[in-house]
Amino acid sequence: MIDFSLPHPLADLQARVRRFVADEVIPLENDPRQGPHGPEETLRTELVTRAGRAGLLSPHVAPEYGGLGLSHVGRAVVFEEAGTSLLGPVALNIFAPDEGNMHLLEAVATPAQKERWLAPLAAARIRSCFCMTEPAPGAGSDPSMLATVAQPDGDHFVIHGRKWFITGADGAGLAIVMARVPQDGATMFLSPMDAPGIVLERNMDTLDRCFPGGHGVVRFDGLRVHRDDVLGEVGQGFRYAQVRLAPARLTHCMRWLGAARRAHEVATAYARERHAFGKPIGQHEGVGFMLADNEMDLHIARLATWQAAWVLDQGGLGLHESSRAKVIVSEAVWRVADRCVQILGGQGTTSETVVARIFADMRAFRIYDGPSEVHRWSLAKRILKGHVA
């Protein structure tokens, strides 16, 4: 018989995170220091301070930077627990885009770049943003349309262009900028967000409001970046983007799986307590079947996430697996959240429970890091070439 139980150290860590979220994070969910563009900096600081005291800050990064060096499967367990509160990933410093940026810096950055940027990111002293998506006719789902240009100028590059949907831009300390170097191709650059030539035009009003700093429109007007601040090699930006995106898609799955589980728990409790037509509404098939479907969707989503995480732990790049998992999980957890709103009825449309908030924040998951349709298209091309799961 296959033993699917967690190793004792990981099971203990799972329990610690679960207690921490219940005791230290969930009581702050209605804190007024939250707005349409995410938690305010004072709230974020309080949350990460609490996680630091609990020994849970940045568990995904290497121990030399204060983390726990979790494997991808370990992250799947811990990130799901953190995700049971929308503030949980903020507290543990594992929210997007910082989590993916830390992973990228660990994999690609020079020792000097790690000391300058990874160390303060892992300590949650600063936030970061990843500047890739552009307004039309620039890069979106098709990164080859990259329009932002970095022109060589002696020991520097001068960057001109415009980005949007840049998560966390407002208040970030670091920007990782994707730009096209003539004759060389897509390249990543590191820059302080307060450098001359970076302009935050505005914050975009979106359905979600769980990301600190919201989503910004950023313009680059002659940003000068020294060659020492190229991340990796010139012309290798798309390759490094895959290094970042495959794990980042999965960590989104992990966090939103926790949020969907929380919504399901709230809806289940309501279905036990709320009576209609002589019995608890959960005993009516219409509601009971929705709860059963939730359980099955959560189970399938967890299996898809863990399988893809296992591939990454075995040394595979995991692009195919992460695309597949991203579609499976994003659509499954959305179905769960939608059913939970339905089960709660009028309550599900209010702030009386956390479900409406989860529902609104979760909708974007089917779009960012590649919409479901793009991943299906990628999977189909692989299938037609004879590559089967």
Residues 51-74: pLDDT tens digits?
A: 999 999 999 999 999 999 999 999
Residue-wise pLDDT tens digits, 7-23: 999 999 999 999 999 99
Residue-wise pLDDT tens digits, 251-260: 999 999 999 9
Q: How confident is the model at residue 196 (pLDDT cuts 50, 70, 90)?
A: very high
**Range(s) within the chain of domains with CATH label 2.40.110.10:** 128-234
Average pLDDT over residues 180-209: 97
**Range(s) within the chain of domains with CATH label 1.20.140.10:** 238-384
pLDDT of residue 317: 65
pLDDT of residue 320: 84
Domain 238-384: what homologous superfamily? Butyryl-CoA Dehydrogenase, subunit A, domain 3 (1.20.140.10)
- Side-chain-side CA neighbours of 211 within 13 Å: the count stands at 35
pLDDT of residue 77: 97
List Cβ neighbours of 257 (8 Å cut-off, separation of 6 or more): 80, 83, 298, 301, 302, 305, 329, 333
More confident residue, 387 or 213: 213
pLDDT of residue 3: 66
Average pLDDT over residues 230-258: 94
Residue 261 above 90 pLDDT?
A: yes
Average pLDDT, the chain: 95
Domain 128-234 in this protein, CATH class: mainly beta
Distance CA 229, CA 184 (A): 16
Q: How many CB atoms lie within 10 A of CB 366?
A: 18
List Cβ neighbours of 14 (8 Å cut-off, separation of 6 or more): 6, 77, 78, 81
pLDDT of residue 48: 98
Average pLDDT over residues 101-127: 98
**Dihedral over Cα of 140, 143, 146, 152: its sign:** positive
Q: How confident is the model at residue 389 (pLDDT cuts 50, 70, 90)?
A: low
**Is 8-95 CATH 1.10.540.10?**
yes
Residue 381 above 60 pLDDT?
A: yes
Q: Are 171 and 127 in contact (CB under 8 A)?
A: yes
**Range(s) within the chain of domains with CATH label 1.10.540.10:** 8-95
Average pLDDT over residues 186-203: 98
